[in-house]
Structure 1
C-alpha cells in the first residue's frame, strides 16, 4: 500500500513538474519575443528556412485577418515596385480563374473613375487583337438586339 501511494505521489509530482516546465517554457518564448533583436532572429530564421516559412504562410492563410494583411501589403508593395507588379501580374495570368475573378472585381472600380476608364481604354486599344475582339463582341450584341 505504501509503495502504491509513493508511486502515485511520484507520478502526480512528475506531472505537475512537467506541466510547470511547459508553462514556464511557453512564457519564456513570449518573453524572448519581446526583445526586438530576438524577433529579428526568429523572423530571419523563418524567412531563410523554406519549410518553416511554408508552415508560417499556411498558418497565415488559415487566418482571415492575417491573410488580409498579406494581401494588403503585397498590393501596396506592387504599386511601388514594377518588378513585383510584373510578378504578381504573371501569377494572375497563369491562373485563368484568378484572372477572371480579378477582372470581375476591377471592372466596377475602373467604370467608376473616368481617369481609370480612359487609361483602360487607351491600354486596351494598344492591343489590337483585344480591341478587335471587343469590337466584334459589341457588334454581335448589337445585331442580336436589332433582331429582337
Structure 2
C-alpha cells in the first residue's frame, strides 16, 4: 500500500521535474523517462531528497487534479491501514477548522446510511463528555423553542 503511495507521489514529482525543465530539455527527459528503469531512478531520487519532495508537494497542492489524486490515495490507504488511519485522524483533530469541515461533509453521508448512523451513535455514546454536551445543546434548543 505504501509502495503505491510512494509510486504515485514519485510519478507526480517526475511530472513536476519535467515541467520545470526547458522545452528542449523536457523532450530529452521525456524520451529518457520512457524507460521504466529511468522512471524508477527519478522517482527514488525525488522520494529520498527532502528539498525536492517539499517542492513536489507544494506543486501538487497548487494543482486540483494532483491534490485529488493525493487525497484519493491517502483515503484508500487509510481504509486498509489502521496506523495510517490513526495518523490521519490525529492530523484532522489537530486542526479544529479541518475537523468541522470534515464533520460537515460526512454528516449527510452518515445520515443517509442506517449502519453508519447506528455506528456513529454508538461511538458518540461511548464518549460521555460528547454525549452530555449534545444532550445539553438539545435541551437548550428545546427551551428556546418553548419560549418563542
TM norm. shorter chain > 0.5: yes
Instruction: Name which one, 1 or 2, has greater alpha-carbon Rg.
Output: 1
Greater RCO between the two (CA within 8 Å, min separation 6)? 2
1:81 equivalent in alignment to 2:88: no
TM normalised by structure 2 equals 0.83
Q: How many aligned residue pairs are there?
A: 127
Counterpart secondary structure, 1:34: coil
Across the aligned residues of Structure 1 and Structure 2, the Cα RMSD in angstroms comes to: 1.1
String of CA shifts for 1:112-137, please: whole Å, max 9, x gaps: 11100000000000001100110111
String of CA shifts for 1:89-148, please: whole Å, max 9, x gaps: 100111111111111111111111110000000000000110011011111111111111
Q: Which runs of 5 or more residues in structure 1 are unaligned? A: 1-21
TM normalised by structure 1 equals 0.83
Which residue number corresponds to residue 28 of structure 1? 28
2: distance between equivalents of 1:23 and 1:85? 41
Match runs of 1:95-106 below 5 Å: 95-106=95-106
